[in-house]
Chain A
Amino acid sequence: MKKQYFSVFLITVMVLLLTACSGSGESAADVSIPQNPEDVEGDVTVWAWALEANYLEKDVLPAFEEKYPNVNVTIEHIGVDQVYQKVSAGLSSGGSGLPDVVQVENNRIHSFTDEFPDAFTNLSELGYDEHEDEFAEAKIAGLKDSDGNIIAMPRDLGPVAVLYRTDIFEEAGVDPASIETWNDYIAAGKKVLEQTGKYFLGTDGDGILRIMMQQQGSYYFDEDGKLDISSDAGEKAANILQQMKDSELITYTNNWDGQVAAMKNGEVATHPGAVWWSGTMIEQMPELAGKWDMFKLPAFEEGGTRASNDGGSALAIPSESDNKAAAYVFAEFATTDVDSQIKALTNRGLFPALTAAYEEPVFSEEQEYFNNQPFFKKFADIVPEIPAVNHDGAELEVRSVMGSEIEAFLLDDKPALEMLTEGEKQAVQQTGKETTE
């Protein structure tokens, strides 16, 4: 008899322990943002990493606190992997322990919302729609849910162009202005290889493939989230990559550090990459000041699109936040205040998605490091051209598959077209998604 009581007791304790964790947030519909900044009050906790965390803490917070004296913001610097792990753990346990504002990359947003449809606060309901026109279209399109509501506020953007070494181009007698298509690019690469013995570009993953596909308005997924890797756009990109490899223009750089090293020690003459590379270049290869410049991404056919995007993050408000009004005003301030965006660019190299910031004089300033060119203005000019594509929830899995396929293509001589078809087959297997066709 006693034993029975005991086990009943045990089970009760277990059940209590296991059900103890569940949070309660306010629904977006109940939140109203006070008109007067002084009426907004409360504590806001923010999770962000690296440059963005520094930006929020050092560039945004002082100005924000002046405007909103009654909001108390704490920025927690957490590593990128930890942020995602903690967010997914928090969402799995019903939202407990999550912050009020969290940094999320564009390509990660949907991996959360696919799993947890109500993970983030509907910002359209809170009135963020009024800012929609102020941002680059390609950026904000990726931050909406299936009903067209904004679920994260756009922060930085990664417009892509070809960064190149002016001195190597001069030595090889190549005029960057003459490169308009990928075929021109390959021809220039052959010339550089012949004259200087240097590779034309290096890669350490599938970034180049994604850049080339997005450039054509296509991506690993179509608008409905179906896999679309071996599409026409994919094949065109693969053909260019195959030609580059056959002409020995491309080298495998292993990883981020390898890519940085290849650029630093002059192993490669160009790097098709996002604007945020500038920060890394200025910091890690100061001796190359004045030797870098950029030209627009080569088009697939004459007159074709010469813009693409790689990377960029956003700020979201988890649905379980108990202080949505204060969280909203902070994130709104951090994403729409022009002065702060300029600080993000000049202090941290973070390129804003807020197009109003591009009108500021600093964008047109000539950058000594980049051949005395108005480097940021040139990137800003690309922004309106960037095609919007669908970053599906399965993006990370597919990127990992394609990353391996690119490595097989570069290291094991797998034909580029086979890389697409086999990558797609494996992506189907990994994600359980359908393909177009």
Chain B
Amino acid sequence: MTSTTKRLEASKTKKGFITPKTAPYIFVLPALLLFLAFTVYPIIASFLLSFQTRISGVYSFTGLDNYIRLFSDPVFYKALGNTFIILLVQVPVMLFLAVILAVLLQSKLLNMKGFYRVSFFTPAITSLVAASIIFILLLNTDYGLVNYILTSIGMERVPWLSNGLWAKISLIMVTTWRWTGYNMVILLAGLQNIPHDLYEAASIDGASSIKKFFHITIPQLKPVLLFCFVLSTIGSFQLFDEPYNLTGGGPNNATLTITYYLYNQGFGYFDFGYASAIAYVIVLFIAVLSWLQFKVVKE
């Protein structure tokens, strides 16, 4: 400690640059520079880029052209619609499942809790490319295990990935498979924070476990649930790997998500100006939706 201050003082007398006052700034400088170069700069640059169009290799400002194009682009609306459908169906289903699983895992009657927790959480850390390949095999119309089971109990084959509606359903299933465990772990942490006396008091008053669930667990979990909702909303707007690997956005754009569309424009067709405009519209949507969710929960 003292040697450090001495050194600092010594350097102060020598150069007058590193003083106890400036030292903290110098220490955070590397991190700050990286933050500026890799976070702040891209944010500003892509914002500026969203007002530019590249004409034969040169970017020039074209005002709101990209945004005007965006709002008259049927594929963008389709991607937006797909994203909202997935969001509205998948997130409630997933969070419902996550709550149930979390409560069950909290139960004193259950053995091998660690095993179940790991099992449900594993999909969240599995490589999605590997997982998608497995799902492509499972859901294959002709050879897939799922259809094999369906046909062997006398049902029709389902065109899981080759029909617009079923492709969406498949996508929702895979997303749910992947993220339920993740939300479950967060909710589990929330459950453990609920004071036990609340349940004891309710038991003394003769409340059933269902009553306890709806009148203690859910209200107490509200802030955690909100957190999960906001995270899942953002996650849905960023949904990319699953449709990219599973369906390629098809058939007929039925599983094209908004981030996938952004990717196509940017890295498929090198239209970075338009892609940036899409990115900023996504940001806007996420901001508005998160604000709405906070608003709804607060009242």
Q: Mark B57-85, 1 if CB is under 8 A from A, else 0.
A: 10000000000010011110000000000
Whether the Cβ atoms of A261 and B264 lie closer than 8 Å is no
Whether the Cβ atoms of B22 and A2 lie closer than 8 Å is yes
User: How far, in Å, is B98 (CB) from chain A's closest CB?
Assistant: 32
Q: Mark A375-417, 1 if CB is under 8 A from B, else 0.
A: 0000000000000000000101100110111011001100000
Whether the Cβ atoms of A117 and B56 lie closer than 8 Å is yes
Q: Mark A104-137, 1 if CB is under 8 A from B, else 0.
A: 0000000100111110000000000000000000
User: How far, in Å, is A303 (CB) from chain B's closest CB?
Assistant: 37
Whether the Cβ atoms of B250 and A404 lie closer than 8 Å is yes
Q: Is B223 an interface residue (CB 8 A)?
A: no
Whether the Cβ atoms of B248 and A255 lie closer than 8 Å is yes
- Chain B residues contacting A18 (CB-CB under 8 Å) are 37, 41
A257, B25: Cα distance in complex, Å: 57
A375, B107: Cα distance in complex, Å: 69
- Chain B residues contacting A426 (CB-CB under 8 Å) are 74-75
- Chain B residues contacting A92 (CB-CB under 8 Å) are 272
Which residue in A6, A116, A411, A429 is a CB contact (below 8 Å) of B25? A6
A258, B162: Cα distance in complex, Å: 9
Whether the Cβ atoms of B143 and A261 lie closer than 8 Å is yes
Q: Is B163 an interface residue (CB 8 A)?
A: yes
Whether the Cβ atoms of B57 and A117 lie closer than 8 Å is yes
B: interface residue count bin: 35 or more
Which residue in B73, B163, B264, B268 is a CB contact (below 8 Å) of A429? B73
- Chain B residues contacting A411 (CB-CB under 8 Å) are 162-164, 251-252
- Chain A residues contacting B25 (CB-CB under 8 Å) are 6
Q: Given contacts A14-B41, A117-B57, are A111 and B252 in contact (CB under 8 A)?
A: no
User: How far, in Å, is B111 (CB) from chain A's closest CB?
Assistant: 42
Q: Is A254 an interface residue (CB 8 A)?
A: yes
Q: Is B269 an interface residue (CB 8 A)?
A: yes
Q: Is A277 an interface residue (CB 8 A)?
A: no
- Chain A residues contacting B140 (CB-CB under 8 Å) are 257, 261
Interface size on A, residues (CB 8 A): 41
Whether the Cβ atoms of B269 and A396 lie closer than 8 Å is yes
Whether the Cβ atoms of A254 and B57 lie closer than 8 Å is no
User: How far, in Å, is B82 (CB) from chain A's closest CB?
Assistant: 13
- Chain A residues contacting B217 (CB-CB under 8 Å) are none
Which residue in A111, A252, A257, A429 is a CB contact (below 8 Å) of B270? A111
Which residue in B72, B141, B253, B264 is a CB contact (below 8 Å) of A254? B141
Q: Is B36 an interface residue (CB 8 A)?
A: yes
Within 8 A of B (CB), among A1-42: 2, 6, 10, 13-14, 17-18
Which residue in A114, A407, A408 is a CB contact (below 8 Å) of B56? A114
Whether the Cβ atoms of B251 and A254 lie closer than 8 Å is yes
Q: Is A196 an interface residue (CB 8 A)?
A: no
Q: Is A88 an interface residue (CB 8 A)?
A: yes
- Chain B residues contacting A2 (CB-CB under 8 Å) are 22
A351, B85: Cα distance in complex, Å: 46
- Chain A residues contacting B142 (CB-CB under 8 Å) are 261, 265
Q: Is B33 an interface residue (CB 8 A)?
A: yes
Q: Is A243 an interface residue (CB 8 A)?
A: no
User: How far, in Å, is A145 (CB) from chain B's closest CB?
Assistant: 12
Q: Is A85 an interface residue (CB 8 A)?
A: yes
Q: Is A430 an interface residue (CB 8 A)?
A: yes
A407, B167: Cα distance in complex, Å: 13
Whether the Cβ atoms of A115 and B54 lie closer than 8 Å is yes
- Chain B residues contacting A118 (CB-CB under 8 Å) are 57
Q: Mark B256-287, 1 if CB is under 8 A from A, else 0.
A: 00000000100111101000000000000000
Give me 26 A-to-B residue pairs in the complex whose CB atoms sit less than 8 angstroms apart, sorted by A's number.
Answer: A14-B33, A14-B37, A18-B37, A18-B41, A92-B272, A111-B269, A114-B56, A115-B54, A115-B56, A115-B57, A116-B57, A252-B162, A254-B161, A255-B250, A257-B140, A397-B269, A400-B264, A401-B75, A404-B252, A407-B250, A407-B252, A411-B162, A426-B74, A429-B72, A430-B73, A430-B75
7 tightest A-B contacts by CB?
A407-B252, A254-B162, A407-B251, A408-B252, A404-B252, A116-B57, A404-B253
Residues of B within 8 A of A (CB): 22, 25, 32-33, 36-37, 41, 54, 56-57, 69, 72-75, 136, 140-143, 161-164, 248, 250-253, 264, 267-270, 272
Residues of A within 8 A of B (CB): 2, 6, 10, 13-14, 17-18, 84-85, 88, 92, 111, 114-118, 252-255, 257-258, 261, 265, 394, 396-397, 400-401, 403-405, 407-408, 411-412, 426, 429-430, 432
